Structure 1
Amino acid sequence: MPQPVVTLHQDVVAELTGPGGDFELEQVTVGGLEFRAFKRAPANLGDFFAEAGSAFGERVLLVQEGREHTIGELLGAARRLAASLRDEFAVAAGDRVGIVMRNRPEYLVSLFAVARAGAVAVLFNSRGSAAELRAATDDVPCSVVIADEPRAGRLAEGGCAVPVVVVRESGGPGGPLDYAALAGTDRREAEPVPVDRDAPAWILFTSGTSGRAKGAVLTQRNVGNMIANMRFLKESGIELNSRLHGVPADVLRKHLPPPVSLLVYPLFHVSGLSVLMTALLNGGRTVGLRRWDPVEAGRLMIAHRVTLLSAPPLALHDLLSLPDAAEVLGGLVQIGAGGQATPPGLARRMSESAPDAAQGGGWGMTETVATVCSIAGPLVQARPGAAGRVIPIMDVRAVNEEGLVLSSGGTGELEVRGVLVMSGYWGLPEATKAAFDGEWYRTGDLGHVDAEGFVHVIDRITDMVISGGENIYCAEVEKVLSLVDDFVEVAVFGVPDLRLGERTIAAIRPRAGAPTSQEEVKALVGEALADYKVPSEVVFLAEPFPRTATGKVLKAELRAAFLTGAT
């Protein structure tokens, strides 16, 4: 009798990660705690980028707006920019350098340059308003910020107090703080600056439930093990399929087409960085978009023979709705939704339109460099509905409201520990402490772990909406609306949406006789926050909101009333 897929996968994992295996694990001590880590994980990002340049320097890494950019070209510019950061702004190891721009070649150069300088890349939300960028740059101060012209304008509007290196849309030099001058071919090239494994590498922003953006500090060790895990997931998948189908693993590797990914996510997202790292690991290329446009995305996928696609359900829905969807998706080897759970109907449509592409997915968060568990190929069929199997360097448990650790299958808040968990939130020791249950990170997600290590995510405990792959924190939108005197009560919540995954609803009880207008409410939010945080619909209620005995608004009742048309 053939060995079941799940136990066969476990055997593969044990062999690859055991003593002498290609992905051998070791015990490491971080902050006084013991964790499992990949023994051969990259020591730091600077080393990893340099190794990619040595192995694949002549290969195209990015195709953007009709131009091809090789790894060698981008790394060469990065070495010059790193020298300029040192010479012009005295950037040294451990200093923070902000990056805020749309996806473009200069973003990659800046990311590589910061690593070359031994500094910390602070990846600000390029979609943030002037006020949001001011708050973020105040919370995580930088020696210098590198921005494209539109974001440089927002930084100036918000009163950013640090120097801003400007990437001009025309690409030409225009002054001493212009990117083109600082990365120009007349500049010297910087030598790599060594950094410790537990030094910060990236600071990415995530808001939790409070609404105020927090900078999650990801260390060199975090990111190095994320990269090693990507290698592990690829090789374990090849080995599993080899054993299932009786085909030598080397034969499968030879038949894998060159990895070509459509870069849907912005690079300030951990999902966008994951797509970039996948390309660097494999000598693959990414195809960039100036902004999301499903027709243009489909054209690029056909023209560049995209083989890997990870995108929010919003983008996948748009691509599946194209009249030539079968041709657009026909070259895919793997497809998966990221940023939020895949709606069952969307998974079915992906199978119908891309029958030859293996579906993949996982569960993680910014604070864990995107990954806690993963699932792809045969495991998807073996455990439909699971978020993934816990990866070898992480642990997951479910805890009830009393803090009791539940046995296998028990539903509670999912907590995680391991070498991928961030070191904390920058400058926020109390928020960091609140995010952890001892050495376990509280995810805010409700679910359970079965006896075979598969994680099942049921719902979010945190009050957050994920729309089109973007996190929208209800408290943040409510704070803006609560400043309006004519609004007695406000509540923001999410409802299911086929295209977006979820959409945001604002419920408002206005004062008697006060004028009410959906457009005015949306404009208020749009003036203060990023455009994707503007509610898709506003409902005005005459009666007081339902509340608990302690005064908390019962959003579940508001949501149910909205869905049944009672509001």
Structure 2
Amino acid sequence: MRAKTLARGFIEIGTEHGGREAVVDGPVRLRHDEVLRRATAVAVRLRHLGVGPGDRVAILLPNCWEYAVTYIGVQLAGAIAVLVNTRLAGPELTHVFSDSAAGVIVTDATEGRLGSRVPGEFAERIVPVEAVVAAPEPGTADVDPSTLPGCERDASDVAHLLYTSGTTGRPKGAMHTHANLLFNAGTVRERLGARPGERTLIAAPMFHAVGVVSQFVGFITAGGCCIFTPEFKAKTVVELMARERITFFAGVAAMLRLILLEAEHTAPDLSSLRLFVMGGSPVPEDFPGEVARRLPGLTLANVWGLTEGTSITTYTEGEEYAGHAGTVGRPVAGLEVAVSVGGGRPEDLRDTVGELCMRGPAVTAGYWNNPDATAAAFVDGWLHTGDVGSVDGEGFVRVLDRLKDMIIRGGENVYCLEVENALNTHPDVADVAVVGVSDPILDERVRAVVVPRSGGSLDIESLREHAAASLADYKVPSEYLFVEELPRNASGKVLKRSLVEIALTAPDDVLPLAGGAGEETDALPR
């Protein structure tokens, strides 16, 4: 990839690999040259609507071929795409549209669909997606895309705004530049093997860095093919993997577990799937062994990244991953990871726990229209990630927790991820999240919210004993709550704030538990 901006990159690929399949969405199958032709028509229509270089165009759509064509069209027009979370409610949409000052909102305006959720004050900005992506009109089909304004943008210009998930507060618009996105695309080619002929199934939402940055931009600009599904459903995903000969998938470990369970019943041919990249959730220590038995041709990889770091910061796969369990790999080429202790300057400290910081070409330009938040997180070229972890002597990074999720119990730091990993090894635990809840004596106590494995026999005492076998007493949860599933946002992250806010009651079937290290006894539901 020689291009320095997305517009020129899409043109380059559409010209060099025009005959290759680029986008698949149900019955719709588009080659790279067809995608470029339709995206050029989108850019022309946006210009007719008054959209100019640097203007914001919001995209409120599920994963679909129209999303792909609209996104590329926005880049060819030289505008900034605002990628809107489809699960946001009215007040949240108001914040995103107001904060970004999007002049055009591309959405499905059909009654009862996504467009109907757009607050009335923005209704006049809606442009129906079917009008935007319609077949090129006479006079636009012959437009040379290299003459469009997007080709005059600079590498340092903002290409899109990707709003943070808002799990800890109001979403902030991370500014991804063309340089950020093309750097990450290079990483996707070098480390994930994206190239012509590769086929990735995009189940992660396109308003999430994994879906839009690493999969869509990463594989399209490599001449690969993107197959879209609007959401993750194991049955649908397994069917698509077999039928479309998917080679690459990205998701959390729980998704692969569900895929394996579904595959038990249908025995699909998943032999084309070569790489599954996990990230954003704990990976049970015995899981890689289970995958190797079930899908011997599949390589597992682990990754760490965040929206403000464009997408991929560290990476490990295969034997290296198996040999460094519990880590998320080493920084990819061109990026550095260091540790800040007590808010100080990031340093090359080995085996020292602190806030993980990163710098390099993947660090984004800051938060849109939010200089205070930008100044707090982006300091002297370093991005302070808010993740707690360490770097070992070989450079492998270990992520222990989100800084805001870390529990301080009686003066001791408890890292939620460490406790979750311990509980995840219990054979009857399907999923678990650990949070800290207020305590009048200890400041905080540890709560485990557990999804029992179907058909298992799980009780609180066995969980407590299991945790105590590998954790210090102050880390062992004193509260346990069983649920059918964990609440997650569209990016797959557990909404821990809602787990903290659950008020435990004391019905007749409570089980008294002795607290850890100086705690008083708690009465908890089974």
Same fold (TM over 0.5): yes
Instruction: Look up the match of 1:296.
Output: 236
CA deviation after TM superposition for structure 1 residue 409, in Å? 1.5
Structure 1 contact 257–307 (Cα < 8 Å) conserved: no
Instruction: Look up the match of 1:130.
Output: 90
Aligned with residue 186 of structure 1, among 138, 144, 159 = 138
Distance in 2, Cα, partners of 1:106 & 1:234: 26
Distance in 1, Cα, partners of 2:258 & 2:499: 18
Deviations 1:292-348 (A, max 9, x none): 221121111111121112122332221111124763543311112233343334433
Is 2:279 the partner of 1:338? yes
Distance in 2, Cα, partners of 1:496 & 1:415: 31
Is 2:152 the partner of 1:152? no
State TM-score, norm by structure 1. 0.69
Is 2:186 the partner of 1:228? yes
CA deviation after TM superposition for structure 1 residue 104, in Å? 0.8
SS in 1 for 2:268: helix
Is 2:117 the partner of 1:164? no
SS in 1 for 2:316: strand
State TM-score, norm by structure 2. 0.74
SS in 2 for 1:540: coil
SS in 2 for 1:306: coil
Distance in 2, Cα, partners of 1:123 & 1:132: 13
Which one-letter code corresponds to 1:102 in the other structure? P
Which one-letter code corresponds to 2:177 in the other structure? T
Structure 2 contact 14–35 (Cα < 8 Å) conserved: no
CA deviation after TM superposition for structure 1 residue 44, in Å? 0.6
SS in 2 for 1:299: helix
CA deviation after TM superposition for structure 1 residue 415, in Å? 0.8
Distance in 1, Cα, partners of 2:101 & 2:133: 24
Distance in 1, Cα, partners of 2:366 & 2:447: 28
Deviations 1:165-217 (A, max 9, x none): 1125xxxxxxxxx3355x54336245332111111111101156641010000
Deviations 1:234-259 (A, max 9, x none): 57x9xxxxxxxxxxxxxxxxxx9931
CA deviation after TM superposition for structure 1 residue 230, in Å? 2.1
Is 2:269 the partner of 1:311? no
CA deviation after TM superposition for structure 1 residue 282, in Å? 3.6
Instruction: Look up the match of 1:217.
Output: 175
Is 2:42 the partner of 1:61? no
Pick closer, same or farther for the CA change 1:492–1:85 going to 2, 3 Å: farther
Instruction: Look up the match of 1:359.
Output: 300
CA deviation after TM superposition for structure 1 residue 287, in Å? 2.1
Pick closer, same or farther for the CA change 1:141–1:566 going to 2, 3 Å: same
Pick closer, same or farther for the CA change 1:437–1:562 going to 2, 3 Å: farther
Is 2:11 the partner of 1:50? yes
* Higher normalized contact order (CA 8 Å, seq sep 6+, divided by chain length): 1
Q: Aligned pair count?
A: 439
SS in 1 for 2:122: coil
Pick closer, same or farther for the CA change 1:340–1:564 going to 2, 3 Å: farther
> Structure 2: 5+ residue runs without aligned partners?
407-415, 421-432, 439-444, 454-484, 507-514
Structure 2 contact 241–273 (Cα < 8 Å) conserved: no
Distance in 2, Cα, partners of 1:220 & 1:380: 31
Which range moved further: 60-69 or 45-54? 60-69
Structure 1 contact 209–463 (Cα < 8 Å) conserved: no
Which one-letter code corresponds to 1:192 in the other structure? L
CA deviation after TM superposition for structure 1 residue 52, in Å? 1.2
Which one-letter code corresponds to 1:413 in the other structure? E
Matched residues, percent identical?
A: 29
Pick closer, same or farther for the CA change 1:328–1:398 going to 2, 3 Å: farther
Distance in 2, Cα, partners of 1:135 & 1:415: 29
Structure 1 contact 204–366 (Cα < 8 Å) conserved: yes
For the aligned residues, what is the CA RMSD? 3.8
Aligned with residue 369 of structure 2, among 411, 423, 427 = 427
CA deviation after TM superposition for structure 1 residue 51, in Å? 1.1
Distance in 1, Cα, partners of 2:302 & 2:404: 22
SS in 2 for 1:441: strand
CA deviation after TM superposition for structure 1 residue 398, in Å? 1.2
